[in-house]
Amino acid sequence: TVEDAEKKTTFNFKAYVLEKGDIINKALDAAIPLKEPVTIQEAMRYSLLAGGKRVRPMLCIAACELVSGRHEMAIPAACAVEMFHTMSLIHDDLPCMDNDDLRRGKPTNHKVFGEDVAILAGDALLSLAFEHVAAATKEVSPERVVRAIMELAKSVGSEGLVVGQVMDIHSEGLSISEVKLERLEFIHIHKTSVLLEAAVVAGAIMGGGTDEEIERLRKYARCIGLLFQVVDDILDITKSSQELGKTAGKDLVTDKVTYPKLLGIQESKDFAAKLMRDAHEHLSAFDLDKAAPLYALANYIAYREN
Ligand code: GRG
């Protein structure tokens, strides 16, 4: 169980998050220096440095270290996944998509810089991510760098984030009876899991993992990716019912189809627990102490409150 895994290691997750978070934030800051004309870099930095949880870069570094790589080998790839993530959030918030005014508690990119610059800032982050991995990865063979870039590219393209978003858009306005579990799962896997998978797999590739280790970690990542989204759907309901009194449920009780709406709360929680068990199972072939950060990140995803 989760508790057993925690008891067996002396791993300090809080210290780990502080240490790696600091490394990631410094690397992201250094990846986009302000140059003339500054507006585009300001727009890129505004969203990239807006204080996300940095789950994806942490997974990337943890996977690299698990296969005995040094964290420096995975930092550029870790920055790249956070750049992808930020780009997708900027584009997702645009008026033609979700039309959101706030992200991470701050006005969205297009609210501050305008729609035109926000689109371009997303494009520039996407392109910079690849340039950064190619230019800044040190002490990793070119074969591994190319292999990692391929994984990263696939995760954002028409077989990854983009198809997830397209399917999501096309599901808008459909009722619970029209959106089947299979479709919901497809959206979640493509909008969320693929990027967590790319983070973990790219980290393991950069760290020098064997094919077997890489594929085992891919399976772990797929479980926690879906777990992330199932938990998100459950949180959506619990948050909505807590806030209902204060806000009359505005924007909180959404029309979108979720796991609890299709399966009910209890069955959704059971499914989350099963994904967690499966994630642990895929880690069980690794040394427990070395895999401690990935166990802890899975726990964090399962028990987080936002
Ligand atoms: C233009 C190539 C290209 C892709 C864009 C817009 C789009 C396609 C995809 C949208 C993907 C999207 C918004 C998915 C939701 C992902 C998600 C779970 C966001 C929340 O992640 P957290 O909780 O956020 O890690 P923080 O703020 O902590 O980083």
Substitution site in 28, 60, 92, 239 for ligand 1 pocket (most atoms within 8 Å of beta carbon): 92
| Ligand 1 lined by 93 (C-beta under 6 Å) | no
Sign of the Cα pseudo-torsion (205, 47, 257, 272, in order): positive
Residue 141 C-alpha to ligand 1 middle, in angstroms?
30
Residue 82 C-alpha to ligand 1 middle, in angstroms?
10
Residue 40: which region, alpha, beta or left (left: phi > 0; alpha: psi -120 to 50)? Answer: alpha
CA pair distance 63, 40, nearest whole angstrom:
32
The answer to whether the beta carbons of residues 52 and 79 sit under 8 Å apart is no
Q: Where are the alpha helices (DSSP H) in the chain?
A: 2-8, 13-31, 38-48, 55-66, 71-93, 109-113, 115-136, 142-156, 161-171, 181-188, 194-206, 211-247, 259-263, 265-283, 288-303
Whole-number pLDDT of residue 177: 82
Residues 269-285 pLDDT 10s: 999 999 999 999 999 99
Residues 191-239 pLDDT 10s: 999 999 999 999 999 999 999 999 999 999 999 999 999 999 999 887 7
| Ligand 1 lined by 162 (C-beta under 6 Å) | yes
| Ligand 1 lined by 258 (C-beta under 6 Å) | no
* pTM given for the model: 0.93
| Ligand 1 lined by 155 (C-beta under 6 Å) | no
Whole-number pLDDT of residue 72: 97
| Ligand 1 lined by 53 (C-beta under 6 Å) | yes
With pLDDT > 90 as the criterion, what percentage of the chain qualifies? 83
102-103 and 106-107 beta bridge pairing: antiparallel
Substitution site in 88, 119, 234, 256 for ligand 1 pocket (most atoms within 8 Å of beta carbon): 88
CA nearest neighbour of 129 among 224, 27, 50? 27
CA nearest neighbour of 6 among 292, 203, 200? 292
Q: What is the mean pLDDT of the chain?
A: 92
- Work out the end-to-end distance of the chain between its first and last CA atoms, rounded to an integer number of angstroms: 23
Topology of domain 2-303 in CATH is: Farnesyl Diphosphate Synthase (1.10.600)
Residue 216 C-alpha to ligand 1 middle, in angstroms?
25
Residue 89 C-alpha to ligand 1 middle, in angstroms?
5
CA nearest neighbour of 114 among 135, 134, 94, 143? 94
Structure tokens at 232: 């998100």
Q: What ipTM goes with this model?
A: 0.94
Residues 238-264 pLDDT 10s: 776 666 555 444 444 457 889 999 999
CA pair distance 83, 29, nearest whole angstrom:
11
Residue 93 C-alpha to ligand 1 middle, in angstroms?
10
Element (H, E) at 101: none
Between 257 and 145, name the one with better pLDDT.
145
Which residues are CB-contacts of 89 (< 8 A; sequence separation ≥ 6)?
A: 47, 103
> Is it the case that residue 305 has pLDDT exceeding 90?
no
Q: How confident is the model at residue 306 (pLDDT cuts 50, 70, 90)?
A: confident
Whole-number pLDDT of residue 6: 56
Residue 165 C-alpha to ligand 1 middle, in angstroms?
9
Protein residue with its CA nearest to atom 10 in ligand 1: 88
| Ligand 1 lined by 55 (C-beta under 6 Å) | yes
Residue 195 C-alpha to ligand 1 middle, in angstroms?
9
